[in-house]
Structure 1
């Protein structure tokens, strides 16, 4: 019989707590659940009102993995959901993780958490711009950091503040708080940045996904700004050989990175980082930090949301 825990008045069955999910470190499912409760405050803040896509890996990263965006069977009735419109089919419903009980329920499924750059109240109207810096071997996150510094300065020239986090996999994510803007326009602007970076740093950066172009270089994936795309949320565990986390980092850490281990964070390292730095991405949660994209009209309430729903996230 599965143990029952009560979280803020909600009864939750927890399964297989002794199951080893990461054999390389011996990390168990119970430890994963504990981690999620430890980082619940900042994690929930970045999940708030954003429809979830899940990468599930119930037997660990080496077992079966499957990506889902629909509400999983057996989801408790008290877990909030939102309707997500689609252009070619009926709307679907996706999970919202709005509180600690819902987060613990999701963690018990063993999931990576992925969100779009928009909230459920305004599908397809982004309040964040994201650039996913993905290194092609033998390049690593060290090369991503060099590209990130160029992008940081380029965004600043347009009056935009960028915040960095590791992907928890191989690369780096840059996120920018923006005034509500249609996703297509954000994607177009992000593409211009990627093209400019590739022109300015031809030995370091590519903006095309073509695999033959990518060895030894950093691919700047601007496409995750499309309304249908999602990105791993800050503080989520990743389905990697070890329990790595998508962790916010300082720009000093980016500038000083000379080897990948410096910006590879296991789940056990996140609580001490939060104690030392707080949530480095908290400015993303402040509407007063949002800035318009260059050439944008004055911000106003969205009237014509993009009708596409989320699909598979990139790494």
Structure 2
């Protein structure tokens, strides 16, 4: 029998709570939902607010079928907010906006990763942040990503921009930069410029092109997620990886001191203590006073 619970006045059917989603750790669906409800809800909702959400669903765990969806899933309750999102060459589609705890728990019960664009629902294609996805090609790891992140931090600072880091929850790092509202195309052009500069300055470590043959032993500085149609894993989402690792904000001291990949892996059980110790390290991303304008792209 599926238990029914009430969240903020909404009745939710939470299914298969004893189902093991992560065999490597024995983590159950119930434990995953508890993480979202009791640990991550506050900061995660702040970063999801007013952004259309795409879901990577993995209802049978990371070893089962994975499918990416932007459309509201079948059976989406009428009380879950949706918003019109323009699609290139077509009529607008609708996507979910997760704006309260009930909507968060409804989505988490579907077993999803949360992915969001760099813009808000009321200004499609106008970015209020920039992202660099640092993706290591084996044998490179997050350790090499940290070296590249430090280079990018200094380069961004030279243009008056502040960067904040989080783990991807997979193998790499994400750097996020709060911006004054800027057309996504201009953000993409600037991000590409810096990725090219990083490769020029660190030719043995960085590649700015996606070509697989170029990437072994190097860090791919992926600037493409700044395109209006692209999304990035949201901070505090759990990833569909062998273990229930979180896309977790990290301090610059942790990035500077990282010497082994395991030092920047944070499972759901670590996040409560991290939030107590650090608060939301990405809070500046949602503080308009921290946003800065991009310099001219030459």
TM-score range for the pair, normalised by the shorter chain length: over 0.9
**Aligned: 1:153 with 2:165:** no
Q: CA deviation at 1:72?
A: 0.7
1:278 maps to 279
Which consecutive residues of structure 2, in runs of 5 or more, have no partner in the other structure? none
Counterparts of 1:160-179 in structure 2 under 5 Å? 160-179=161-180
Alignment deviations for residues 199-226 of structure 1 (CA, whole Å, 9 cap, x no partner): 0000110001111110000000000000
Mapped partners of 1:59, 1:204: distance in 2: 37
Distance in 1 between the 2:242 and 2:93 partners?
Answer: 33
Structure 1 CA distance, aligned partners of 2:286 and 2:186?
Answer: 21
Does residue 193 in structure 1 map to residue 183 in structure 2?
no
State the match for 1:21 in structure 2. Answer: 21
Structure 1 partner of 2:10: 10
Give the C-alpha shift of residue 90 in structure 1.
1.2
CA distance in 1 between counterparts of 2:88 and 2:241 reads 33
- Matches of 1:62 and 1:279, distance apart in 2: 31
| TM-score, structure 2 normalization | 0.99
Partner Cα separation in structure 2 for residue 295 and residue 205 of structure 1: 24
Displacement of 1:86 after TM fit?
Answer: 1.2
Shift of 1:283: 0.5
Q: Which residue of 1 aligns with 2:236?
A: 235
Alignment of 1:96-115 (within 5 A): 96-115=97-116
Residue 87 of structure 1: how far off its partner (Å): 2.0
Deviations 1:243-297 (A, max 9, x none): 000000000000000000100110110110000000000000100100000028x
Give, in whole Å, the separation in 2 of the partners of 1:290 and 1:154.
17
Q: What are the ranges of 5 or more consecutive residues in structure 1 without an aligned counterpart? A: 297-315
Structure 2 counterpart SS, 1:39: helix
Counterpart of 1:262? 263
Correspondence 1:35 to 2:35: yes
Q: Indicate the residue corresponding to 1:311 in structure 2.
A: none
Please give the residue correspondences for 1:215-254 in structure 2 after superposition, counting only pairs within 5 Å. 215-254=216-255
Distance 2:212 2:60 in 1: 30
Measured in 1, the distance between the counterparts of 2:151 and 2:86 equals 36
Alignment correspondent of 2:207: 206
Aligned length in residues: 296
Instruction: Map 1:110-129 onto structure 2 (within 5 A).
Output: 110-129=111-130
Deviations 1:61-109 (A, max 9, x none): 0001100000111001000010001121111000000000000000000
Q: CA RMSD of the aligned region, Å?
A: 0.7
Deviation beyond 2 Å, 4+ runs, structure 1 = none
